[in-house]
Amino acid sequence: MIFCSDPYPQNEKLKNELNELFNSFIKSGSYIKGPNCSQFEKNFAQYNGVKFALGVANATDALEIALRAIDIGQGDEVITTSLTAVATACAIKNVGAEVVFCDIEVDGYNIDPLDVERKITGKTKAVIAVHLHGHPCDINQIRKTCDDNNIFLIEDCSQAHGATVGGKKVGSFGHASCFSFYPTKNLAALGDGGAILTNKKYIFEKCTELHQYGWVNRISVSENGRNSRLDELQASFLNLKLRYLDEFNEQRRKIAQLYFNGLESMNIGLPEEKLGNRGVFHQFVISSSSREKIKEHLQDHKIFCGLHYEFPVHEQPNFRKKNCKLPQTEKQVSMILSLPIYPGLERKSIQKIVSLIGDVV
């Protein structure tokens, strides 16, 4: 059986190192907020070219904490894409703000910067720009729009660890950026994990307070915080995995190239890399009016594709709004299909997938 994403091969490859880390973790006697977590925060900030990093429990928390740190709540509007993990929109709602959905670009699946501009009102306080499927969104244009309108930019980099725009890492463009280390992400823990990056000291300090009960230096509490920490075991795994991130991303790009070579002569929409961008292929998303036929044919051969996403967030019962129409998003979701892609996916599996698709289209 082949799945759309599968974290097992990379963990199998690193099994001995992971076991050693687990053994020294037990011996260390330090299980939460010890040296592994601070080391990872330092390494991850450095890798992304950003001043501060804070480990948290997951990306949904990271987004909520970042939004609260910049004082977003009731009465505020936050703009984001509807084609994203529902977590992005949940975080906005959880802080009490209103989610305003944007359409996607016509030549890709990322948030449309022109629609961002159109959706800004007097209540808009922030934009959450998602780098979907591992491909950077038009972050320079969105940053400009945010600056012109004096609103915050938060990047959701949960699918794009290591992707670059003009050689600069995603996550270094916004006022803050949020990452998930869920086991199938490009940088993956063996459990839950997340991080917030920022160059602004006051945002970092506020996030640090909010992620641990509102504590300032473990003494005074002036704000109602929560508990959202990255634990020592996951942090030690992440320190190891961070050393392999570029190599694993390169493997994903090689798999993508094999798909491009195999599928380019077929009547299928393929992902496009914009000039100056370097994506990390969290997903390999094709587009076809025969999507269902392709999906079922592959399934008959025990190959299970994904849909990212089957339903855009603005069509979810919890987020449905009157008069919210996003034509490009609605058109694309019926045609997209995420093919298997992950470090360790074998060449012969890719060839088989390509030839099975050829049977159908």
Ligand X SMILES: *Cc1c(COP(=O)(O)O)cnc(C)c1O
Residue 338 binds ligand X, judged by CB under 6 A: no
3-state secondary structure 206-268: HHHHHCECCEECCCEECCCCCECCCEHHHHHHHHHHHHHHHHHHHHHHHHHHHHHHHHCCCCC
Are residues 258 and 283 in contact, defined by beta-carbon separation less than 8 angstroms? Answer: no
| Alpha carbons 229 and 41: distance in angstroms, whole number | 12
Residue (263 or 313) nearer to ligand X, CB: 313
Helix (H) or strand (E) holding 335: none
CB of 178 to ligand X, least distance (A): 7
Stretch that binds ligand X, among 4-12, 58-66, 205-213, 345-353 (CB under 6 A): 58-66
Other Cβ atoms within 10 Å of 151 Cβ, number: 21
Are residues 242 and 187 in contact, defined by beta-carbon separation less than 8 angstroms? Answer: yes
Residue (180 or 212) nearer to ligand X, CB: 180
CB of 249 to ligand X, least distance (A): 16
Residue 127 binds ligand X, judged by CB under 6 A: no
Are residues 177 and 154 in contact, defined by beta-carbon separation less than 8 angstroms? Answer: yes
Residue 159 binds ligand X, judged by CB under 6 A: yes
Tokens for 182, please give them.
């869920």
Residue (137 or 263) nearer to ligand X, CB: 137
CB of 192 to ligand X, least distance (A): 6
Specify the 3-state DSSP secondary structure of 77: strand
Residue with tokens 């987004």, as numbered in its chain? 63
Task: Encode 185-198: b = buried (16+ Cβ within 10 Å), e = exposed.
Answer: bbbbbbebbbbbbb
Residue 128 binds ligand X, judged by CB under 6 A: no
CB of 99 to ligand X, least distance (A): 13
CB of 308 to ligand X, least distance (A): 8
Residue 88 binds ligand X, judged by CB under 6 A: yes
| Alpha carbons 155 and 347: distance in angstroms, whole number | 33
Stretch that binds ligand X, among 23-31, 54-62, 147-155, 259-267 (CB under 6 A): 54-62
> Closest by alpha carbon to 98, among 317, 311, 319?
319
Q: How many of the chain's residues bind ligand X (CB under 6 A)?
A: 15
Stretch that binds ligand X, among 80-88, 168-176, 311-319, 341-349 (CB under 6 A): 80-88
| Alpha carbons 336 and 294: distance in angstroms, whole number | 11
Choosing from 174, 194, 340, 343, the residue that interacts with ligand X (CB under 6 A) is 194
Choosing from 124, 180, 234, 249, the residue that interacts with ligand X (CB under 6 A) is 180
Choosing from 60, 198, 234, 251, the residue that interacts with ligand X (CB under 6 A) is 60
CB of 155 to ligand X, least distance (A): 10
- What residues contact residue 161 under an 8 Å CB cut-off, 6+ apart? 179, 185, 186, 187, 245, 249, 280
Stretch that binds ligand X, among 67-75, 85-93, 246-254, 334-342 (CB under 6 A): 85-93
Residue 84 binds ligand X, judged by CB under 6 A: yes
Residue 158 binds ligand X, judged by CB under 6 A: yes
Choosing from 77, 103, 155, 156, the residue that interacts with ligand X (CB under 6 A) is 156
| Alpha carbons 56 and 103: distance in angstroms, whole number | 30
Residue 249 binds ligand X, judged by CB under 6 A: no
CB of 131 to ligand X, least distance (A): 8
Residue (60 or 82) nearer to ligand X, CB: 60
| Alpha carbons 143 and 68: distance in angstroms, whole number | 20
Query: By the criterion CB under 6 A, which residues form the site for ligand X?
Result: 58-60, 84-85, 87-88, 130, 156, 158-159, 180, 182, 192, 194
